[in-house]
């Protein structure tokens, strides 16, 4: 269990126009489960691999328990990694795979066997010990990969999108297992995924990356309820948060399709964000006018897609099936509470609270 | 169309049989005495003089079994060294990042352009200066690594060894040579099999290098030993064919067992897969 | 690179770090070291040798600078050299052309018409390539014997020809060419077959639908696609045939045949170096042969090579 500190980490791939890591500053507390999330190419995997020592960095530092590890080779950092493809040794049995790191450390055969059995028990893969990886299912291989990481008793566990090769049902199951594992072992864990559901459910804290920059770090609910910028707001939540242009003036938001009361002072051109589930019906003629284009029934929820009257900006509304459902082409009138209005300035960041 | 196709089938088949005739006669002549061979028409089927021919062979070439042994030794040693060093270099070119890697590899490929005979004369001098004349080292060491072999291994290792597995091994604290020895070698055996066949056969058949290097019949490899039977008065064709048959037999066996792999190995550089 | 609170830089760590950086070079060094010693150095030395007169038996100190004398001698005064060059080119052409002209259609035939037996037939054609040239050439000498050889017997039965004395200069080259053809036609077939296997099936089917008969498909669709492989295979043939040594050596009993009818350039070089002990001239001959080889491959490149930008 160790704390991880990343300081001003920069990296540019040779020949690339922009850096893949643009000066990252991040702290991971001891025993924390930290999730790196973001779209492809945002640098989250590169950062993880830099922590592991698999990617060299151009500038900055990585500290584990206060000591810099950025110059150390991967095998000596005290980190273990579970790869997306599991990266098992195909010609070795499961037992040999699990014991490989211990063999590299030079432990005696008997001791290796004891520790391998212990780990196999924890992950419930004892019956698989003499088998070869190619005869295992995806989920089983996963466990072996995790086991190989556990056996090293690392200070930090690194996970590189470990669940993306599994089918949906298995993914849910493994998610729960990973959460349980974290509770049992208590080791610091850094987990990379592009799946926001995994991020929201597994993360003690989430770090959202975009284009090599850290957009926001915090607990899942914090990021969901109080996103710091347009990117984070649009990244978490499905369907995506609605955005439309508006002007804050005189305690109301004036948009193309109408206006909404907004208990905020000041005057600014903003991008307003409202989550689909936060729309309420308004009196006809008040609030925002939205023309419904399509109604999607998902069984447990209904999603209405429409366009803001006047500007044609796309909006979506999420409600329970029991509520009244509009027809296609019908005009709806919508409103919402002030606390569900996320106002973003021209720089994409949330508007600072008026003093 | 039909009769045309049948005709071509027959033609192709006849061609294949023609390809085989020298082998056929080699085995047939090995079982006949010289007088039987040098008659009109020459024998077309096996005779019963095989044992006599072998005795004659050993009489004219007392070191025959030694020569066979030397051929085997040189071929095996060359193959083993070649596999090891080519795989090692292939590992580096395929999996490691180091300055000048691409330049060095291109230089390696350029050496393929230089034909062997250019160095034939000075090579003998080098062997003389090293004191390796008449020694088998002179055959084994130059053949211990080949550009084609490195190329083949790099292709295969680059394609077949998962990068993430190598990274996992590094994280597990495995040294680079450890990764090579424990992971890359065991997982590269298909390519190594092909390369082994190619190198073994090349070494077994090699004639020019032994011709330059060896002085004593005792040390000859098979091709050279067989040649020494030629031109000494009346060439003992029966015995010669018996010897030739023994020289060719291992190759035939290898071929029957592994022709697919052999062809793959030989065409490795030729076809873009 | 800013790094605060580094773990202490012990000498051991520095040594290990240095070793790690050097390691890839260690991995590739066996090739380069061996090549430098047994490939590059001899080659460079032979350039030097070609400009000197030297009898190795006399010792290293006896090397005499003669400039381009050796080259002049080889090109202008050495009849045997010009004869051997002529022989080499003749054999290269006469055995090389059929190798490819037969291998191509054969490969096509195997690819399109023969499924089940393909590997067997291919194997039979390929067998000569992997067997010992020396062993088989020795067998061939008996087969080409004037009075008792199979070849003459067969020719007599099939074509009614009188027995040919293959040792006569006009026939020696034919004999050598036949043996070389026998050896390599299967190899070229293998090469062409593997190239054919990369021709997309849809292309042929589209041509068939367009009304092209098999022969036309071959000429108009397949041949252009085979050009790269043809270039590669012909290059190999050129390089191989121009340095032919083993077959003519054995077939002529090491002598080059009556009137040098079967002496190739490589054989001549061998003789000049090891029988006459004239290392200087031998090296000059080697480089002249290399020049011819370079010329031939350049010509081949013009003919069959890929045009830059033509795709």
Cβ contacts of A321 within 8 Å, gap of 6 or more: A297, A299, A300, A301, A302
C5·A58 Cβ contact <8 A: no
Report CB contact under 8 Å: C5, A66: yes
Q: Does A157 touch chain B (CB under 8 A)?
A: no
What pLDDT is attached to residue B233? 67
* Domain match, A79 and A228 both: yes
* C152 and C39, same domain (yes or no): no
In a domain, A259, yes or no: yes
Identity of the residue in B26, B89, B251 whose CB atom sits nearest the CB atom of C139: B26
Q: How far apart are CA C7 and CA C23, in angstroms?
A: 23
Residue C288 domain boundaries:
78-304
A197 falls within a domain: yes
Q: Are residues C226 and C159 in the same domain?
A: yes
* C169 in the same domain as C37: no
Q: Say which CATH number the domain at A210 has.
A: 3.40.50.300
The verdict on C86 and C41 lying in the same domain is: no
A6 phi/psi in degrees, rounded to 5? -115, 125
- Give the integer Cα–Cα distance in Å for A159 and A191: 5
Residues 6+ apart with CB under 8 A from A60: A6, A7, A8, A9, A10, A23, A24, A70, C2
pLDDT, one tens digit per residue, over B113-144 is: 888 788 788 888 888 888 888 889 889 998 89
Shortest CA distance from B12: residue in chain C:
C106
With pLDDT > 90 as the criterion, what percentage of chain A qualifies?
A: 59
B:C CB pairs within 8 Å: 259
Q: Are residues A227 and A262 in the same domain?
A: no
C125 and C232 both lie in a single domain: yes
Q: What is the ipTM of this complex?
A: 0.84
Nearest-5° Cα angle at A336, A331 to A341: 120
Cβ contacts of B165 on chain A, cutoff 8 Å: 87-90
Q: A187 and A249: one domain?
A: no
Region C239-263 average pLDDT:
85
pLDDT of residue C311: 42
8 Å CB contact between A27 and A180: no
Chain B, window 81-110: residues with a beta carbon less than 8 angstroms from a chain C beta carbon: 85-86, 88-89, 91-93, 96-98, 101, 104, 108
Residue A352: is its pLDDT beyond 80?
Answer: no
In a domain, C109, yes or no: yes
Do C45 and C177 fall into the same domain? no
pLDDT at B103 > cutoff 70 = yes
Average pLDDT, chain C: 84
Say if residue C276 is exposed, middle or buried (CB neighbours under 10 Å; 0-12, 13-18, 19+).
exposed
pLDDT for residue C67: 77
**What pLDDT, on the 0 to 100 scale, is given for residue C142?**
85
Rounded Cα distance between A305 and A63, Å, is 48
User: What is the count of structural domains for chain C?
Assistant: 2
CA dist A128 and A146 (Å) reads: 14
Residue C34 falls inside a structural domain:
yes
Residues of A in contact with C5 (CB under 8 A): 63, 66-68
| DSSP states along A253-291 | EEETTEEEE----S-EEEEEEE-GGG-EE--TTSEEEEE
Global pTM reads 0.83
Residue B72's pLDDT is: 94
**How would you class C230 by CB atoms within 10 Å of its CB: exposed for 0-12, middle for 13-18, buried for 19 or more?**
buried
Length of chain B: 273
Q: Is residue C1 one of the residues assigned to a domain?
A: no
**Residue of A57, A59, A67 with shortest CB distance to C5:** A67
Q: Is C241 exposed, middle or buried (0-12, 13-18, 19+ CB in 10 A)?
A: buried
Q: Looking at B112-121, B161-170, B263-272, which range is the least confident one?
A: B263-272
* A38 domain-assigned: yes
Task: Tell me the fold of B63-222.
Answer: MetI-like fold (1.10.3720)
Tens of pLDDT, residues C176-201: 999 999 999 999 999 998 888 888 88
b/e for A336-347, b at 16 or more Cβ within 10 A?
beeeebbbbeee
Question: Any idea what the Cα angle at residue A223 is, between residues A222 and A224, rounded to 5°?
Answer: 90
- Chain C neighbors of A59, CB-CB under 8 A: 1-2
Q: Is the per-residue pLDDT at A166 higher than 70?
A: yes
Tell me the pLDDT band of A353, cut-offs 50, 70 and 90.
Answer: low
Query: Do residues A308 and A209 share a domain?
Result: no
Determine the distance in angstroms separating the CA of A80 from the nearest CA of chain C, rounded to an integer: 20
**At C3, is the pLDDT very low, low, confident or very high (cuts 50, 70, 90)?**
very low
> Smallest Cα–Cα separation from B112: which of C235, C132, C247?
C235
- Tell me whether A275 touches chain B (CB under 8 Å): no
Residue B19 to residue C141, Cβ atoms within 8 A? no
The reply to whether C163 and C255 lie within a common domain is: yes
Token duo for residue C255: 């002598």
CATH number at residue C101: 1.10.3720.10
Q: Is C59 inside a domain boundary? A: no
Min Cα separation A97/chain C (Å): 25
Range of the domain at A252: 240-344
What is the rounded CA–CA span in Å between residue A173 and residue B43? 78
Tell me, yes or no, whether C132 and C176 share the same domain: yes
Interface of A with C (CB under 8 A): 7-8, 57-61, 63, 66-73
| pLDDT, mean over chain B | 87
Q: Please give, rounded to a whole number of angstroms, the shortest distance from the CA of A146 to a CA of chain C.
A: 28
Residue among B164, B173, B187 minimizing CB distance to A75: B173
Tell me how many domains chain A contains. 2
Interatomic CA distance for residues B52 and C195, integer angstroms: 48
Interface touch B125/C131, C-beta < 8 Å: no
Q: How far is CA A65 from CA A78, A169, A186, A205, A218, in A?
A: 11, 37, 16, 19, 21
Instruction: Provide Rg for chain C, Cα atoms.
Output: 26
Judgement on whether residues C154 and C22 belong to the same structural domain of the protein: no
Distance CA A229, CA A216 (A): 8
B217 close contact with C: CB closer than 8 A = no
Query: For residue B212, which of B196, B223, B197 has the smallest C-alpha distance?
Result: B223
Backbone angles phi, psi at A347, to 5 degrees: -85, 0
* C16 and C161 assigned to the same domain: no
Two tokens at A142? Answer: 């996963």
Cβ B252–C149 below 8 Å, yes or no? no
CATH at A317: 2.40.50.140
Cβ contacts of B38 within 8 Å, gap of 6 or more:
B237, C145, C147, C148
Q: Are residues C300 and C215 in the same domain?
A: yes
Within a domain: residue A217?
yes
C235: closest chain B residue by CA: B113
């Amino acid at each position: 269990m160790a704390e991880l500190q990343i300081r001003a980490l920069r990296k540019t791939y040779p020949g690339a126009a922009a850096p893949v890591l643009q000066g990252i500053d991040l702290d991971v507390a001891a025993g924390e489960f930290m999730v790196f999330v973001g779209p492809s190419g945002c640098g989250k995997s590169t950062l993880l691999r830099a922590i592991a020592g698999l990617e060299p960095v151009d500038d900055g530092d990585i500290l584990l328990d206060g000591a810099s590890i950025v110059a150390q080779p991967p095998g000596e950092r005290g980190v273990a990694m579970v790869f997306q493809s599991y990266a098992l040794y195909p010609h070795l049995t499961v037992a040999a795979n699990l014991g490989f790191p211990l063999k590299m450390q030079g432990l005696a055969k008997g001791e290796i066997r004891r520790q391998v059995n212990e780990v196999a028990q924890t992950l419930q893969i004892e019956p698989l010990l003499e088998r070869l990886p190619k005869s295992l299912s995806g989920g089983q291989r996963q466990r072996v990969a995790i086991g190989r990481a556990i056996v090293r008793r690392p200070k930090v566990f690194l996970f590189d999108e470990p669940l993306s090769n599994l089918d949906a049902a298995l993914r849910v199951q493994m998610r729960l297992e990973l959460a349980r594992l974290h509770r049992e072992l208590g080791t610091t864990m850094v987990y990379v995924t592009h799946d926001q559901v995994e991020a929201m459910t597994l993360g003690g804290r989430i770090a959202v990356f975009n284009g090599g920059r850290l957009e926001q770090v915090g607990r899942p609910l914090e990021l969901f309820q109080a996103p710091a910028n347009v990117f984070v707001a649009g990244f978490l939540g499905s369907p995506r948060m609605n955005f439309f242009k508006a002007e804050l003036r005189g305690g109301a938001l004036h948009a193309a399709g109408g206006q909404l009361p907004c208990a905020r002072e000041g005057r600014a051109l903003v991008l307003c964000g409202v989550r689909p589930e936060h729309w309420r019906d308004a009196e006809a003629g008040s609030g925002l006018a939205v023309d419904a284009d399509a109604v999607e029934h998902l069984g447990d929820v209904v999603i209405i897609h429409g366009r803001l009257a006047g500007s044609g900006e796309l909006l979506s509304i999420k409600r329970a099936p029991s509520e009244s459902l509009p027809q296609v082409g019908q005009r709806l009138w919508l409103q919402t509470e002030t606390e569900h209005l996320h106002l973003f300035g021209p720089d994409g960041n949330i508007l600072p609270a008026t003093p | 169309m039909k009769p045309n196709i049948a005709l071509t089938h027959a033609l192709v088949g006849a061609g294949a049989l023609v390809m085989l005739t020298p082998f056929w006669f080699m085995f047939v002549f090995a079982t006949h005495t010289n007088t039987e061979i040098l008659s009109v028409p020459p024998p077309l089927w096996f005779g019963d003089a095989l044992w006599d021919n072998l005795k004659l062979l050993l009489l004219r070439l007392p070191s025959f079994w030694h020569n066979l042994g030397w051929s085997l030794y040189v071929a095996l040693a060359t193959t083993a060294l070649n596999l090891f060093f080519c795989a090692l270099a292939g590992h580096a070119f395929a999996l490691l990042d180091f300055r000048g890697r691409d330049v060095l590899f291109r230089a390696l490929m350029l050496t393929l352009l230089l034909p062997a005979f250019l160095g034939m004369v000075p090579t003998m001098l080098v062997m003389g200066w090293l004191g390796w004349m008449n020694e088998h080292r002179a055959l084994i060491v130059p053949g211990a690594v080949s550009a084609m072999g490195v190329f083949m291994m790099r292709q295969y290792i680059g394609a077949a060894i998962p990068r993430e597995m190598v990274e996992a091994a590094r994280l597990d604290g495995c040294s680079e040579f450890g990764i090579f020895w424990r992971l890359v070698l065991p997982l590269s055996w298909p390519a190594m099999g092909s390369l082994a066949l190619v190198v073994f056969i090349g070494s077994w058949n090699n004639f020019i290098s032994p011709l330059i290097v060896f002085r004593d019949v005792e040390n000859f490899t098979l091709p050279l030993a067989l040649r020494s039977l030629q031109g000494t008065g009346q060439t003992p064709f029966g015995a010669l064919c018996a010897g030739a048959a023994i020289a060719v037999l291992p190759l035939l066996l290898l071929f029957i067992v592994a022709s697919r792999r052999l062809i793959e190995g030989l065409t490795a550089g030729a076809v873009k897969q | 690179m800013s790094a605060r609170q580094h773990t202490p830089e012990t000498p051991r760590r520095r040594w290990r770090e240095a070793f790690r950086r050097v390691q890839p070079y260690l991995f590739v060094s066996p090739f380069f070291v061996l090549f430098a010693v047994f490939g590059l150095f001899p080659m460079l030395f032979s350039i030097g040798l070609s400009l000197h007169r030297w009898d190795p038996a006399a010792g290293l100190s006896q090397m005499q600078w003669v400039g381009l004398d050796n080259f002049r001698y080889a090109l202008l005064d050495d009849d045997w050299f010009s004869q051997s060059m002529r022989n080499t080119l003749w054999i290269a052409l006469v055995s090389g052309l059929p190798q490819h002209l037969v291998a191509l259609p054969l490969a096509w035939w195997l690819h399109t018409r023969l499924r089940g037996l393909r590997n067997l037939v291919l194997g039979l054609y390929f067998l000569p390539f992997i067997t010992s040239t020396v062993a088989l050439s020795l067998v061939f000498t008996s087969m080409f014997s004037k009075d008792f050889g199979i070849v003459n017997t067969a020719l007599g039965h099939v074509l009614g020809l009188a027995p040919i004395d293959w040792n006569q200069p006009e026939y020696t080259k034919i004999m050598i060419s036949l043996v070389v053809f026998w050896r390599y036609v299967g190899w070229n077939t293998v090469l062409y077959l593997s190239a054919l296997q990369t021709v997309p099936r849809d292309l042929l089917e589209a041509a068939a639908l367009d009304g092209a008969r098999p022969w036309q498909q071959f000429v108009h669709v397949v041949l252009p696609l085979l050009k790269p492989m043809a270039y590669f295979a012909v290059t190999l043939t050129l390089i191989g045939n121009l340095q032919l040594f083993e077959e003519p050596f054995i077939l002529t009993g090491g002598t080059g045949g009556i009137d040098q009818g079967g002496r190739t350039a490589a054989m001549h070089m061998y003789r000049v170096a090891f029988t006459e002990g004239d290392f200087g001239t031998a090296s000059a001959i080697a480089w002249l042969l290399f020049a011819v080889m370079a010329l031939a491959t350049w010509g081949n490149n013009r003919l069959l090579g890929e045009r830059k930008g033509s795709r």
